Amino acid sequence: MNSLIKTTLIGLFFGTFGTTIGGIIGVRFKKTSNKFLSFILSFASGLMSAIVCFELIPEALKINSVFSVIVGIILGIIMMIFCDIIVDKKFSSKKSTNKNIKSDLLKTGIIVSIGLAIHNFPEGLAIGSGFEASLKLGLSLAIAICFHDIPEGISMAVPMKNGGIKSSKVIFYVILSGVTTGIGAFFGSLIGGISEATIAICLSFAAGAMIYIVSRRAYTRG
């Protein structure tokens, strides 16, 4: 129970830290350099790819069969696709007839924050299951996700700030969107703690989720 609480708190810390840093950057610098964003995204993607190839998949294969690992990877990819579909369908920005630019920007910021909150849950699952396998793997995942969340925090803060929300409230909403990472970490640790087989499934699930995130980022930039 003690380790479950620790994992949840670590997931909560890293989940909110990255988005908060991004939020502060977004509030302080309304126009953030594309080169800077590209660097952060590339660094996070490289870190995630290395963790998937050298940590997650090898660790899962040590515990369970190749078939189980493949199933876990596929489930992770499907989960992330499902999250993206929900965000696109339910929270996608539509052209507003209102010509008030501030209102449109505010709406965009709210949409992004809801999307991030949904998106952060499976990332938390990855952290929780990672800690069940080993401390090193859990921390590696948490750090990679933290870097990945920085540009997401920026993308949420900039439209909110320009939409007229006070800086303190923007930061509060940014932090709130990262809380779901801690919730995901709780469930990831809880499920992963049942048996070694479930740890392997969770690790391969996390690998699939990260493969999708990295691939989607590469496709979006391309």
What tens digit of pLDDT does each residue of 116-153 get?
777 788 788 888 888 888 888 889 889 988 988 888 78
Q: Where are the domains of the chain?
A: 2-221
Is the pLDDT at 86 greater than 80, yes or no? no
pLDDT tens column, 100-126: 556 665 666 666 676 677 778 878 888
Model's pTM, two decimal places? 0.68
CA–CA dist 201, 2 (Å, integer)? 23
Position 31 pLDDT exceeds 50: yes
pLDDT of residue 21: 92
pLDDT tens column, 53-67:
887 888 889 888 899
